[in-house]
Amino acid sequence: MTHGIAITGVALATGFGLSAEDTWRRVARGETAVHAAGRFGGAYVAELTEQDTLWALAQRLPVDDLPPGTGITLGTNGAPETAWLTGFPYAALDPIVAKLGIDGPRAVFGTGCVASANALCHAVDLLRAGRVPAMLVGGIDLLNVTTMATFSSWKALDAAPSGPYSRSGGVNLGEGAAFLLLEADPGDKEVIAYVNGYGMTADAFHITAPPPSGEGLFRAMRQALRDAGVTPAEVDYVNGHGTGTPANDRAELTALRSLFGSGGPPLSSSKPQLGHTLGAAGVVEAAITAFAIRDAELPPTINVDPERMPGWDVVPGTARPAKVDVAVTNSIAFGGANCVLVLGSKPAADPGFPAREVSTVGGAVVPDAEAARGNFPRAYASRVDELGALALAAAHLAWADAGYTAENRPEPEHAGLVFATASGPLATIEELHAAQDRDELHLISPVTAPNIVASVTAGYVSLTLGLKGPLSAVTSGQASEEIALDHATNLLTTGRADVMLVVTADERGPGARARVLRGEPS
């Protein structure tokens, strides 16, 4: 089985423009695309200018000779809202697939700020298993007033250019998009870097804040390094999540110290330069990390406050030369999802994890919101929307049907969740747009507004059942449940979890269904 997966193409759209190489050069020089944007009341953001971004990016990859069976995955959080606004079917990839003639698997992930990293992990599994010869892996998120208002309600936006790991006064958001071309057998093609490992975990701690210990991220990094067959001492560089919010920066630095000790590898964040590109960030930052490996150059962290250094080498100001054979890139999302990638200059060997058989051991159906009442913890009734209530009820009933209780349950770190939805959180989308029409976005609730992100619904299930294994949200229209089951099965057969809960929910449709899958030695 192929283990190290080659990155043979990169396309980037950032506030610097529609050139991956130009973005990389300007990041290395310490420039920033973040500026005060008039359309968002002077908030500091990075903005795209290209309209048909995904298609424009796809054309910049070597897509003319894609082999038959090539697949495509995308990470984005805006697909449900865009579908609601336009009335078009919920299938963000359809135009790209049609134009390129892609006939392999396709999937859209909406796992908050790890969405595109999550999409990349799924693509790696398909490539390693020999189910596809190549995968296009993309990410995109654009900014709108509801996104800005939601972050503003949490007081998470920095009123100045952000300074991760030092000043940590808040986040600057950014628009961004990226595509990577991944191949299991690159032949004689130039390889930029290899994806050698990944780790996915859940915090089961809080919906919008990581645990101060960063233990979920620590576990994801440890899992990713094990998958890549390397030790912490072999890591040359960490591309950090580095949002600039106090909670995220503290948790990430604590997790890094737990893994590496006090003398860990250089760490940097490109978010002060590109903005936090949300669902696109995983692939955008994987591209930056791949270029760091290719060019033997550490990208910088800008806006570092010299009076508030974190006691870690954050490569302040501008890039510097350094050999990078092994690099880690971190992503964290609302709902408590963590996703870590390990990239390298050479392909990793297959560690030979034993394959496992998967069976269904429990299930439940909840037909509507009325039937959901009383079937999940009452304390969360005022926090979740209708989609969340359906998902929670189905999850708790299926968990009980599998025979799991507080005293008899899988180890939390080995039990995960894949949440699937065809149309997304419609009630929350409508509520936020009604507030916009009334010019009352400044009054939205910081408790319920996060429900617009699918990973938050997943996070409530994870939190209430104490699931700390892999956490994903699939937002692929009518194919979501099928993709979620496939994704969960991959995670079980490769030993990333012992038990996976798959929950499908939609407010206007069949309600919710949940299944409990278990992996056992074959």
339 is catalytic: no
SS3 of 35-60: the string is EEEHHHCCEEEECCCCCCHHHHHHCC
276 is catalytic: yes
**Cα–Cα distance, 293 to 344 (Å, whole number):** 7
- 3-class DSSP state for residue 77? coil
Q: Give the closest residue to 512 by CA, choosing from 395, 424, 404.
A: 395
Residue type, position 110, single letter: G
Q: Strands 134-141 and 176-183: what pairing?
A: antiparallel
- 3-class DSSP state for residue 387? helix
Question: How many other CB atoms are there within 10 angstroms of residue 260's CB atom?
Answer: 18
Q: What is the DSSP string of 193-252?
A: EEEEEEEEEE--S-SSS--TT-HHHHHHHHHHHHHHT--GGG--EEE----S-HHHHHHH
User: 276, 339, 396, 487: which one is catalytic?
Assistant: 276
Contact between 322 and 296 under an 8 Å Cβ cutoff? The reply is yes
- Count CA atoms within 13 Å of residue 368 on its CB side: 2
Residue type, position 227, single letter: D
- 3-class DSSP state for residue 503? strand
User: 3, 122, 241, 396: which one is catalytic?
Assistant: 241
Contact between 513 and 480 under an 8 Å Cβ cutoff? The reply is no
**Cα–Cα distance, 238 to 165 (Å, whole number):** 13
Q: Give the closest residue to 108 by CA, choosing from 517, 430, 482, 425.
A: 482
Alpha helices of 296-425 — where are they, by DSSP H?
Answer: 369-372, 386-401
Determine phi and psi for 295, rounding to 5 degrees. -100, 0
Strands (E), 66-161: 71-75, 106-109, 134-141
**Cα–Cα distance, 250 to 265 (Å, whole number):** 17
Contact between 398 and 362 under an 8 Å Cβ cutoff? The reply is yes
Contact between 239 and 198 under an 8 Å Cβ cutoff? The reply is no
Give the residue numbers marked as catalytic.
Answer: 113, 241, 276
